[in-house]
A and B are shown apart, each in its own frame.
Chain A
Amino acid sequence: MVEDEIIKPDDSIDLRGVLCPMNFVKTKLKLEMMEAGKVLEVVLDDGEPMRSVPRSLKEEGHKIIKVENVQGVYHLLVKKA
């Protein structure tokens, strides 16, 4: 898969310190307010959030197009289905 290095998110949600499953629920609600094809940046803690949230997003049909580790904090780019 070819990575597009310059994808600019349309919106962002910072979920550092937010526990499972509330972090996923907040992401879901945010995505519901966006149009299909738009990109949301999701900022997540390492550990359980990184194990659960991406998988749940995939189950909902959304596409994770980029994962970046910025000094131990994860930035996900999610394309709304």
Chain B
Amino acid sequence: MDQGIVKQRVDLNELKSGGFIKQNQKDLFTVRLKVPGGRITPEKLVKIAEVARKYSRLGYCHLSFRQSVEIVGVHIDDFDAVVKELATIGQKVASCGPRVRVPTACGGCEYNPNGIMDTQAKALEVDEKFFGTPCHHKFKMSFSGCPIDCARTREMDLGFQGVVYPEWSKDLCNGCTLCAKACLEGAIVSDKEGRPMFDESKCVYCGDCIRACPTDAWKDKKTGWLVRVGGKHGRHPREADQVVNFLPDSKVNDFIAATIQWYHENGKPKERIGTTINRVGLDSFKEKVVNAFTQS
């Protein structure tokens, strides 16, 4: 595709943060739509379907691996019309290229009994604040509400996973042993009286003991986010490093800003943050970014 032609035919501002992906077919592009956290209203789906039926020259959509709806086969001459028609219901185009992408998230704590943190609200907030921020390479974030980690935070440049710290009160316990049954990690073993012996080193902070306890002897002492950084998939996958446990919800935006700042200063063009961490060292990241959040 000749970029010169693109400049003549469409509003460059619309293309600024990408979202239009070149296809094999001459002049046809895939238009990636923004669906933060993968949650979308039926009204938007209907409008997207209308627009796709009108402008997809191949006649189909694709659901991307990061929860976006993509209209495949849009002709370059139709870009402006597609953007305008989608804007009537507030549907925006997503991004590609070296910048902060649309955050993904699990379904939501309002209806999932395992949910600890509100991933949907956070994904929207983070999208609002950080979407499109230029980086050395792509920068992907996700939010999982619990340690089952459906949003795969270990594969993200920066991932946040909900955690809850269980606290046991002897006075309320009736020795029923249900918490030991509920714990899949072996972190709770019942003693002779049925009372729990808690081994924190095995705990993943999922809160199953709290949900199982019929007398509320197990309670949540605190909730927060477990933070992982430097993950990616692709040709050379890298599992993210865990850098914070129980980051308060109110500190998430600050942590993202500090991480992106460190990435700007230490990364090289076309280098993912995981590669930067491999090159510069995780200790440097911890010293410059993490310590400020764990020492308070």
Contact = CB atoms under 8 A, between A and B. Distances in A.
Interface of A: 1, 3, 46, 50-51, 54-55, 58-59, 63-67, 69
A67 B195 CA distance: 13
A66 B178 CA distance: 10
Contact of B214 (A46, A50, A54, A69): A54
Top 10 closest A-B pairs, CB basis? A64-B214, A67-B176, A1-B174, A50-B181, A55-B212, A55-B211, A54-B178, A1-B215, A51-B182, A3-B174
Interface of B: 113, 171-174, 176-178, 181-182, 184, 208, 211-215, 217
16 contacts: A1-B217, A54-B178, A54-B181, A54-B182, A55-B211, A55-B212, A58-B212, A58-B213, A58-B214, A64-B178, A65-B214, A66-B174, A66-B176, A67-B178, A67-B214, A69-B177
A59 B214 CA distance: 10
A80 B186 CA distance: 31
Nearest to A58: B214
Contact of B113 (A1, A50, A59, A65): A59
B174 A55 contact: no
B212 A54 contact: yes
A60 to B, nearest CB: 11
Contacts of B211: 55, 58-59
Which one of B173, B178, B182, B213 has the greatest number of beta carbons of chain A within 10 Å? B178
B111 to A, nearest CB: 12
A54 B18 CA distance: 50
Contacts of B184: 51
Contacts of A63: 214
A64 B182 contact: no
A54 B126 CA distance: 37
Given A1-B215, A51-B182, A54-B214, A67 B177 contact: yes
A55 B209 CA distance: 9
Contacts of A69: 177
Contacts of A67: 176-178, 214
Contact of B182 (A3, A55, A66): A55
A46 B178 CA distance: 11
A54 B181 CA distance: 10
Contacts of B181: 46, 50-51, 54
A64 B177 CA distance: 12
Given A51-B184, A59-B211, 9 more contacts: A1-B215, A50-B178, A51-B208, A54-B182, A54-B212, A55-B212, A63-B214, A66-B174, A69-B177
A63 B176 CA distance: 12
A1 to B, nearest CB: 4
A60 B39 CA distance: 27
Nearest to A47: B181
Contacts of A46: 181
A38 B159 CA distance: 47
